[in-house]
Structure 1
């Protein structure tokens, strides 16, 4: 067979959409089904991000896809690449998820005034209707007037969604809310208009009248509260990308040829092009990825790699944008700019991981997919049955309204918001932030937790842990000599050694070599001593002989996961100063607690294997559960690998390098002592820096989820019992309203038990 005869597969392309108007899981399912009916089209719709990723293998056009969504009853538009300015290529294409989401993120702002109005009017409505002592002659007319704006203007989003769904012969929770609220209000208004004197007396118990204005108002207010909290969570989803991209340098000092000489010119960092040479002084951020062409220094790469120890760089070494030059002056040639940089690629990783999350199927929505149409059918059948059997219009309408009122999801509306508010409020007291109700579902099935080492299991800061004596001096003198010369250096390792030797003598004749070490004269025991501290090559340059015995001691320290610095006095080695990123005091106990919760802890780090294994041994993580030398891209792949093996993965981290992995994980947990981007990419945030809070956060989330499920059970239990009773005419709307109120009280009381979490 010739190559011309080989079958060719149709080209595949990805179309990304922003979709507005979806309110629940059934909306997601409807859009996916409609798009799936197009030839060669597969769609994944994300409800929290109001987006869809559509894979097209056929000849369907982008406009066909948009038109299909419109025909389903929702609005859609193709995503546009983000570009904050015409000279900002670094941002172009890095945020396919949140570009339009951020611009139309006024959803919460639109709900806020409706919620405030509903709450302010509902309080007096509920008090007057349910507290006889608060009533006055003809109080029903005031309650009617106060309820009207609540069930019309405040509840408009529910009515609008119900109308759109009805146009497509579909129903959601909005349908039941709209019908229930409308029925309760119209029935009450009908009763009041039919008998204007029904509330002419004050001090009426609920059993003395057939008005249910408070039912309609309370339903709208609490469901608006839940919708508002959800909208807030959606808006925050885009901040991870914004925080990540803002970490890059804003300016660069570029070398330009002018009048036959080279001058330094300040330019915006996003205007750099391939081949530009720019200067980076100590303390400045490296503007973009490149290669060192002149100078030597130590670069703090912790923002990108998570490594606690700065990396020494010299000529021809590769450096990464957004990392920090800590010591010497560098001249760097730009090799990757704009969307090619490591930082921009990390931005895309976060975006892709977030957009790839499965749609959140809330429990209430799943139940309502069956519950709503059944209730509507029962209400209609009840009305028709009573008319056929009795011919009594009032009895038929009363029975049908009783079905709708008792089915009206007041307790259902309370089930999630009250538990979430109470649980998240208690969590805030304990320093735990829960992003939203979808997080609680994620904690239920998590069986594996991946822990970033630096800053999560460890402190993230180098500290002197040991001094190996190799000469005739004692520990105090060796450390004092090293601290004296290192105190004059700005290198982070030098600063850690100086901090471990307070009160060290002054140094004179100081000199240093970037990436090598330091040298100076220090007074010791009444005489001047020439002290050399640094790496092996630096000692050799200064005529210090390192014996095989000395090298064995160095190897032992390195095998133990330490960074070791030589110290020599007057040409002879006197010791090694060992530094480590120390393990947090609470980490071992926290990992034991995580195991008790049924989680398998895995240590993930960019550090070398020796360091990682030593830390794992200290905190009780099995050697086979250590993944070392992992770069940011590798962290995301490690999470994916675990997920592909069937694990439900939680990830705990604190650095920018963890942001994409936090977003990819089924449950992302950020340590509050870390970076904003890690916190924004996570589902749970612990505001302290202790792993024990991570275990506590998972436990609180699981208990809150159990509370919500219990609430939902009771919210539907009385429906299951009450609906057939109401349909048979044994339950008038007044009693139905009382049953619904009792269910609501039960749900609230159950939620308030969460306030005792963590006490005693």
Structure 2
């Protein structure tokens, strides 16, 4: 049971080379006194440990991991992620160097071994070239194998070290003492090329794996980078003072200048401006801020200046909560481990056992020739069972699959995402920048009775305006000319006005025109009603007497979105759309795109919670988004897909990125994943079948029947053939067609909308939930770790979404469906978090 001394921490792990290494560290950590739960994530290189501080410490954990042959970074400061990233980069650079030189040195060895074996000094040249490959470039395999041996275990490195080491030593013996074999009627072959090529191939596979894994800390670092380092506060005496963000306290008055990022959550006390909140809400239009409106950390102020009172600082800000959710989702254990490394833990000792058993059997059963035949059988088994084909099975298929995806504009981060993508049955789409283009544009401009002669005045007024929607009109009139405007004035919340050519002109909403008593024709009123019904924003333009024009502004559906949704639905995949936009806009976009389910007014944490709810229902969910606001949901989803035109953070969190932001690439990506995973499984099947057939023959099982004993050279050739067959099968992926749709050139969105059937449009409906919210006081919390434990415990309850704050110590709980009694909530908190008390 958790108590106040229980903490959960995440540590970077160094030295892992395969999933069996992660399993060993996992087992080591879980056996330490005071550790209640430990999980090692091989993909991210992180260990998450929950332990009792009174019985265990980070130093004790580090010592235990080091005794197992690995290392744990335990320094607790803000640079720990940076240190882990530097360690990863250092490892990658070293691996790249060793792989490059191993391949360069192996090429002449293979050429001599295959075509020029009888040339002068052929064996000596191959020996000289293979020695640095085996003992310098491939030294990590021997070091790792030795560490595993000291702890009574084995991994892929053990088999590589044994096969290459014995092949090298056997070849060395044959080169210096050929008479030993010649006197027995056997030609003393050397196998330097086998030892060299094995190491070169395995190093290449490791390099491809390291490149694919990526760095999980970069997304968190970029999220943290959204907060400024310093802010300007207004002291009680009215003076302006610059302080660090760590010094901000609730109640401080902060000054925000044009272009600055907002440091913490708060409420505006003075001034007006527009703030870009797209990184939180995902919506393209900047939000007007005036007295008593809320502002959030990480958002960007536009042209105006204002002051606000800090309300939530540190870990309580909305941005901090998003970071917290991304960390939780990314730190969870990978659902799919690499099959080859899992099997290696059994495969390696079995192969070594078979090789030794073969040698002993020959010694006992073959009299005078027992040693000779036994030694040949031992070497043949280790060489033919080399994990070269197994090591290449996954990376070659991934390399071809990822390359083919890149050709189609689909960037795939790792093999795990390919494995998961084939199981996806539900796709959740963000609206802005994903289904739509992500920026407001003028869809229609309607003039009243030929009043378009005033076009340049309309353009000039909006050119002077600071309103975000003005940019859409300016962009629409980009070829127009500027007319000098006098007495220009911005009317907060309504629009702008100015004089030109002796008249006063207005641009803004309908309320502005009504206040000024401006006449509106019935035709323009009808058109405005139509645009409003289509969830478009209407901007009015008038002179001092009559309305002259209306502009309908919308965030357009992308040309490929409608076809993509049809393709997904026809493949039997459920499609949902989430947006922070209003109900009318969400409904209209869903109706036009044929998306059957949508939810409006969704905050970032709500997106992640919705994805989590779908997963609890047993669905395999792909989340598609483009903004920072989507990052928590992307991290939560089984498969995360980012739009290339979106934020870097979304792309860092995502397992796949669609470079062109074209939704039709999603069906292609799902098909590509199925083809690639199928190829990997074929490769692994043939690699294992090859071993199942080849190993008994190499051991000499046919000798009693027909006198056949496999020569190690033939074993080496068979090993090479197995590798070639695996690579050839992977290359077949290049010829596979993955294009799911073919949109004719020039097809407009309107034409595509016609393809959405009446039935599909009628199916569109909002996602409704019965939500009840309650607040509970929490007694016993003393630090942020306490807060995290209570929050995690409450969120583990089905139908509950909770947010816990430390100051004040309050748990805000939302119930989807039936409200849970306080007694049930208290029991879960006590059992999973510790001695904390909830009170209504």
TM-score, length of structure 1 as denominator length: 0.87
Which of 10, 24, 28 is the equivalent residue of 1:30? 24
| 8 Å CA contact retained: 2:181, 2:187 | no
| 8 Å CA contact retained: 1:192, 1:198 | no
- Per the TM alignment, residue 314 of structure 1 is displaced from its structure 2 partner at its CA by 0.7
1:518 & 1:615 partners in 2: Cα distance? 29
Structure 2 unmatched ranges of 5 or more: 704-708, 740-840
- Per the TM alignment, residue 302 of structure 1 is displaced from its structure 2 partner at its CA by 0.9
1:685 & 1:375 partners in 2: Cα distance? 41
Which of 72, 79, 88 is the equivalent residue of 1:76? 72
Which residue is equivalent to 2:92?
108
SS at match of 1:661: helix
2:594 & 2:172 partners in 1: Cα distance? 67
Which of 125, 147, 154 is the equivalent residue of 2:137? 154
1:16 and 2:1 matched: no
Q: How does 1:133-532 map to 2 (within 5 A)?
A: 136-195=119-178, 210-250=189-229, 252-256=231-235, 262=238, 264=240, 272-358=248-334, 360-391=336-367, 392-467=370-445, 472-474=448-450, 476=452, 482-501=458-477, 502-503=479-480, 506=483, 507-523=485-501, 528-532=502-506
1:425 & 1:432 partners in 2: Cα distance? 9
Which residue is equivalent to 1:88?
none
SS at match of 1:515: coil
Which of 520, 538, 541 is the equivalent residue of 1:567? 541
- Per the TM alignment, residue 380 of structure 1 is displaced from its structure 2 partner at its CA by 1.4
- Per the TM alignment, residue 20 of structure 1 is displaced from its structure 2 partner at its CA by 2.3
- Per the TM alignment, residue 317 of structure 1 is displaced from its structure 2 partner at its CA by 0.6
Which residue is equivalent to 1:87?
none
SS at match of 1:236: coil
| 8 Å CA contact retained: 1:326, 1:491 | no
Which of 636, 652, 657 is the equivalent residue of 1:685? 657
Pick closer, same or farther for the CA change 1:723–1:589 going to 2, 3 Å. Answer: same
SS at match of 2:304: coil
SS at match of 1:48: coil
- Per the TM alignment, residue 208 of structure 1 is displaced from its structure 2 partner at its CA by 7.5
Q: Once the two structures are superposed, what CA deviation does each residue of 1:343-402 show, in whole Å capped at 9, x if it has no partner?
A: 333222222211114264112112323322221221111111111101421210101111
| 8 Å CA contact retained: 2:462, 2:473 | yes
1:12 & 1:603 partners in 2: Cα distance? 40
Identify the range of structure 1 (268-277 vs 610-619) with the bigger mean alpha-carbon deviation. 268-277
Q: Once the two structures are superposed, what CA deviation does each residue of 1:405-426 show, in whole Å capped at 9, x if it has no partner?
A: 1100111222222222222223
SS at match of 1:383: helix
1:270 & 1:550 partners in 2: Cα distance? 54
Pick closer, same or farther for the CA change 1:81–1:536 going to 2, 3 Å. Answer: farther
2:246 & 2:56 partners in 1: Cα distance? 35
2:289 & 2:529 partners in 1: Cα distance? 22
Pick closer, same or farther for the CA change 1:581–1:100 going to 2, 3 Å. Answer: same
Identify the range of structure 1 (146-155 vs 331-340) with the bigger mean alpha-carbon deviation. 331-340
Which residue is equivalent to 2:103?
119
Pick closer, same or farther for the CA change 1:371–1:214 going to 2, 3 Å. Answer: same
- Per the TM alignment, residue 717 of structure 1 is displaced from its structure 2 partner at its CA by 1.6
Which residue is equivalent to 1:585?
559
SS at match of 2:429: strand
Q: Once the two structures are superposed, what CA deviation does each residue of 1:30-86 show, in whole Å capped at 9, x if it has no partner?
A: 333344445762222111222222234796423554444344443234362416xxx
- Per the TM alignment, residue 300 of structure 1 is displaced from its structure 2 partner at its CA by 1.6
Q: Once the two structures are superposed, what CA deviation does each residue of 1:482-510 show, in whole Å capped at 9, x if it has no partner?
A: 43421221322011122223426623332
Which residue is equivalent to 2:587?
613
- Per the TM alignment, residue 477 of structure 1 is displaced from its structure 2 partner at its CA by 6.0
Identify the range of structure 1 (263-272 vs 337-346) with the bigger mean alpha-carbon deviation. 263-272
- Per the TM alignment, residue 565 of structure 1 is displaced from its structure 2 partner at its CA by 2.5
Which of 33, 36, 42 is the equivalent residue of 1:41? 36
SS at match of 2:556: strand
- Per the TM alignment, residue 444 of structure 1 is displaced from its structure 2 partner at its CA by 2.6
SS at match of 1:459: coil
Which residue is equivalent to 1:648?
620
- Per the TM alignment, residue 10 of structure 1 is displaced from its structure 2 partner at its CA by 8.3
Pick closer, same or farther for the CA change 1:250–1:564 going to 2, 3 Å. Answer: farther
Which residue is equivalent to 1:90?
none
SS at match of 1:292: strand
Q: Once the two structures are superposed, what CA deviation does each residue of 1:318-358 show, in whole Å capped at 9, x if it has no partner?
A: 11123222343222233334444333332222222111142
Identify the range of structure 1 (289-298 vs 8-17) with the bigger mean alpha-carbon deviation. 8-17
Which residue is equivalent to 2:745?
none
Which of 43, 50, 62 is the equivalent residue of 2:45? 50
Which residue is equivalent to 1:131?
115
Q: Once the two structures are superposed, what CA deviation does each residue of 1:487-534 show, in whole Å capped at 9, x if it has no partner?
A: 2213220111222234266233321134331012245xxxx4422222
| 8 Å CA contact retained: 1:613, 1:626 | yes
Pick closer, same or farther for the CA change 1:537–1:248 going to 2, 3 Å. Answer: farther
Q: Once the two structures are superposed, what CA deviation does each residue of 1:463-498 show, in whole Å capped at 9, x if it has no partner?
A: 1123467xx545846866543421221322011122
SS at match of 2:372: helix
1:464 & 1:666 partners in 2: Cα distance? 37
| 8 Å CA contact retained: 1:31, 1:72 | yes
Q: Once the two structures are superposed, what CA deviation does each residue of 1:423-460 show, in whole Å capped at 9, x if it has no partner?
A: 22233333322222222222232222221111111110
2:346 & 2:605 partners in 1: Cα distance? 43
SS at match of 2:384: helix
Which residue is equivalent to 2:689?
717
Which residue is equivalent to 1:748?
727
SS at match of 1:102: helix
Which of 666, 690, 693 is the equivalent residue of 2:638? 666
Structure 1 unmatched ranges of 5 or more: 1-6, 84-95, 200-206
Q: Once the two structures are superposed, what CA deviation does each residue of 1:185-230 show, in whole Å capped at 9, x if it has no partner?
A: 122222212228999xxxxxxx986222111111211211222233
Identify the range of structure 1 (268-277 vs 28-37) with the bigger mean alpha-carbon deviation. 268-277
Pick 1 or 2: higher relative contact order, CA cutoff 8 A, min separation 6: 1
| 8 Å CA contact retained: 1:510, 1:519 | yes
Which residue is equivalent to 1:204?
none
| 8 Å CA contact retained: 2:214, 2:413 | no
- Report the RMSD for the aligned CA atoms in angstroms: 3.1
2:466 & 2:181 partners in 1: Cα distance? 84
| 8 Å CA contact retained: 2:451, 2:548 | no
| 8 Å CA contact retained: 2:426, 2:620 | yes
SS at match of 1:461: coil
Pick closer, same or farther for the CA change 1:239–1:271 going to 2, 3 Å. Answer: same
Which of 698, 705, 712 is the equivalent residue of 1:733? 712
1:478 & 1:667 partners in 2: Cα distance? 52
- Per the TM alignment, residue 150 of structure 1 is displaced from its structure 2 partner at its CA by 1.1
